[in-house]
Amino acid sequence: MKRYGWLPALGLALVLGTGLLLAGCNSGTTTTTAPAVGGSTTESTAPPETGGNAANDTFTYAQGADPRGLDPALVDDGESSKVISNIYEGLLKYAADSTKVEPSLAESWQVSPDGLSYTFKLKQGVKFQDGTDFNAEAVKFNIDRQIPPKATADMSYGPFVYGSVKDVVVVDPSTVTINLTQKNTAFLANLAMSLAAPIVSPKALTDGSNSVMENPVGTGPYKFVKWNKGENVVLVRNDDYWGEKAKTKNVIFRIIPDNSARVLALNAGEVDMIDGIDATVVNTITQGGNKLFEAPGMNVNYMAYNTTTEMFKTVEARTALSQAINVEELVQSLYQGYSEKATTILPTFVPGYDATVKQVGYDPAAAKAGLAKAGITKVHMIAYSNPRPYNAATGATLAAAIQGYLQKVGVEATIDTFDWTTYKEKVKAGDFDIGFYGWIGDNGDPDNFLNLLADKDPTMNIARWQDPKYIADIKAALAMPNGPERDAAYGAMEKYVAERAVWLPISHAKTLAGYRPNVSGFIYHVTGNVFLSQAVKQ
Amino acid sequence: MSELELAPATDETFHEKPDNQWLEMWRSLVANRAALVSLAFIGLLALIAVFGPYLVPYNPVETDMAHALKSPSAQHWFGTDQLGMDIFSRVIVGARVSLTVGILAVMIAMTVGVILGSIAGYVGGRVDTVIMRLMDIMLAIPSILLAITLMAALGKGIDKAVIAIGLVSIPEYARIVRSNTLSIKENDYVAAARIVGNSNARIIARHVLPNALSVIIVRTTLGMSSAILDLAALGFLGMGVQPPQAEWGDMLGRARGFIFQAPYTLFFPGMAITLTVLAFNLLGDGLRDAFDPKSRVK
């Protein structure tokens, strides 16, 4: 009888679910659309809670998974990045509510007229959390370890951030010059990222006794205390911090893998803030007396044609299939208002976004005719089984919705669903007609998104589209200085791709987080990082 | 040769009178309220499985994104799922999938299990050891885990699910049939049949198995419930049917994210699984009581 163990659990779950439904009927949704700086209304009046009530001295943030590690050079995931953002700093940082770069460890910078060398004036008197000095040598040490010949294969973001770096020259202890091999307008934006760019204490890196992956040492507002794998990461205020000191003494990142469990922990008051939530739990969070943080997200969720297949190598075939899909209706139903319909690859707030770009429109009659002409009756789709930050409904559900639209125009679609790791292998292998993917922006630069379609790596460019004109345009635009001309160049590229129907952009997911009503001052950044140094609990 | 021809007739006298036995059993079953209701429910389910797909109000695999996640109403009795598919139609159509898979899987398990069990029990010795240790190894691994592993090796699909579920339940039949065979073969009528020169295969088929029939029937009934549950578990894990085909476990798996927001998407397929499994279990229990004279309901 052991095998019936899950039935009572199911029954309990059903009863619980029904109860919640009933509870949900008598009150409307009270969603606060907060600006990028959460709970800013109380910021001016809130005295810094230092000492006093012990409970208010600890801010607990719950996320879905352990960080992969805490050395910014060696990780590539968001869960690590959130913790890293509170321990380390880079030369530059993003503004609280955009991806505009601001000074951080560098006070000021100058770019040479040829755009190939960047000279940074560093902040003086800054110390790493291990007591060593932050200076130009430290900057050089951090960049040198991530560029050839020292760079290793496991440095995922090194090539992205420092790929164009030729060398680093220490001018004096507080001045450093970085020379590039080619012009790269995104370089400054890259230096503000939370992966690869944060500066780690050279002493900690050379010490050898401790790995920085598990014992991080930076210059940031919080110091690392301990990491209980699978449970939590504990940080404490860095009292020697050079800038405005952290308001809350302790920060704990708690690991709660299950989405529903994270919501219940917030409602029970066990944690102060949670992320990784979707539309299905919004009501539960607001009815639990908690607040919802909602902001546009820097991401895109898309469907891609494998342009190397016989079936979809022509623009006509791709257009015909895209015409069968009512993206607007689909986005509204699947994401229930927590994703915006994508009109182009770029999110609306990224420079270069062009509102005049039009994707293939919904037109089932034209789709039927076009598909008949192209002789398409069966397509093979592959999808990922788990939710992704840009697609809370999972790739499998998105694929099933598209399958439904295709059924209406007489095309039979088969869907093979895989877990994320296997899925990436399948994408690499290329045995599919239609695939689903997404992208989370790193630095707010349009190149970061649009370069995907020029990439040679099929795990990045899953459409396997190689268009010489597009690739040349991408290269040229990367070297252009920021401004209207560069934006226009990206606008033209967005149109070029849309006309060729290489992707069907689906949506841009909003960034959602839940937090206790007594919490304010946190920064949930558009890059997905969370900065807790100014967060307070009343 | 005349003795030999007489033998089968003499043999019959060792059996109980069949008519009387079945009738008494039926009476006992009818007297068991729970078992009777279960039997009626299973009958209804069988009718639904056969005729349901022709009577459903909506195409169970047609999406309607404009009407996704609608609560139960006059138009959609059980509501609609995330893709706007009618849950009532899908639950009805799912009955056919579950029953078909249940029956086929039980047939596989029963056929193989009965053959292996009766050989092991009747022949004994080294053959018994080899077969039963193999069964013990299979039993040592949780059956659903074994089924998942098999599915991983065979690939996804409902046909593979039938094979996987069938294979993992073989040991249960083999053990039951073996133990019954062990006691039945000690009976005088088996010895008599052997003395008059019947082959082993004939003895097993004519004398051993008919006497083990009652336990096999009880086992298959209970086996149906575990097969349906296993299928639901595989579907829940996304290893069952190819979308958009309707299957209860698969529906439950897809809806699990909506437990807070739209619990009806879980409730109805969950209820279908619960009631069906419960019905087969209660019927199985009723049959066991009915077959066992000592616990027969008077």
H runs (alpha helix) in A345-463: 364-374, 395-408, 420-429, 446-450
pLDDT digit string, tens, across residues A194-240: 999 999 999 999 987 668 999 999 999 999 999 999 999 999 999 99
Find where tokens 């997905």 sit: A528
To the question of domain A1-64+221-295+512-538 being in CATH 3.40.190.10, the answer is yes
Given a contact cutoff of 8 angstroms between Cβ atoms, the answer to whether A20 and A516 are in contact is: no
Cis peptide upstream of residue B72 (ω within 30 degrees of 0): no
Instruction: Using 50 as the pLDDT threshold, list the residues of chain B that sit under it.
Output: 1-14, 298
Distance CA(A263)–CA(A208), nearest Å, equals: 40
Is A433 within 8 Å of chain B by CB? Answer: no
Which residue intervals of chain A bear CATH 3.10.105.10?
Answer: 299-509
The neighbour count for residue A488, using CB atoms within 10 Å, is 14
pLDDT of residue A73: 94
pLDDT digit string, tens, across residues A290-328: 999 999 999 999 999 999 999 999 999 999 999 999 999
Is the CB of A3 less than 8 angstroms away from the CB of B63? no
pLDDT of residue B17: 53
Is the CB of A280 less than 8 angstroms away from the CB of B261? yes
Query: Domains in chain B, please, with CATH?
Result: 22-60+77-295 (1.10.3720.10)
For Cα atoms B9, B12, B13, give the angle at the middle one, nearest 5 degrees: 105
Sign of the C-alpha dihedral computed for residues A212, A213, A219 and A221 taken in this order: negative
Is the CB of B82 less than 8 angstroms away from the CB of A333? yes
Burial (CB count within 10 angstroms: exposed 0-12, middle 13-18, buried 19+), residue B192: middle
Q: Provide the whole-model pTM.
A: 0.80
Given a contact cutoff of 8 angstroms between Cβ atoms, the answer to whether A335 and A398 are in contact is: no
CATH of domain A299-509: 3.10.105.10
Q: Which chain A residues in 261-320 lie under 8 Å from chain B, judged by CB atoms?
A: 263, 278-281, 283-284
Q: Which architecture, in CATH terms, is A72-208?
A: Alpha-Beta Complex (3.90)
Which of B66, B143, B270 has its CB closest to that of A10? B270
Is A9 within 8 Å of chain B by CB? Answer: no
pLDDT of residue A387: 85
Distance CA(B119)–CA(B126), nearest Å, equals: 11
For testing contact with chain B, the best of A362, A397, A418, A436 (most B CBs within 10 A): A397
The neighbour count for residue B243, using CB atoms within 10 Å, is 23
Which residue intervals of chain A bear CATH 3.40.190.10?
Answer: 1-64+221-295+512-538
Instruction: Using 70 as the pLDDT threshold, list the residues of chain A that sit under it.
Output: 1-54, 209-210
Which residue intervals of chain A bear CATH 3.90.76.10?
Answer: 72-208
Q: Nearest residue on chain B to A385, judged by CA atoms? A: B238
CA A500 from chain center: how many Å?
27
A18 CB neighbours in chain B (<8 A) are: 263, 267
Is A181 within 8 Å of chain B by CB? Answer: no
Distance CA(B241)–CA(A469), nearest Å, equals: 44
Closest C-alpha among A145, A149, A185, A141 to residue A164: A185
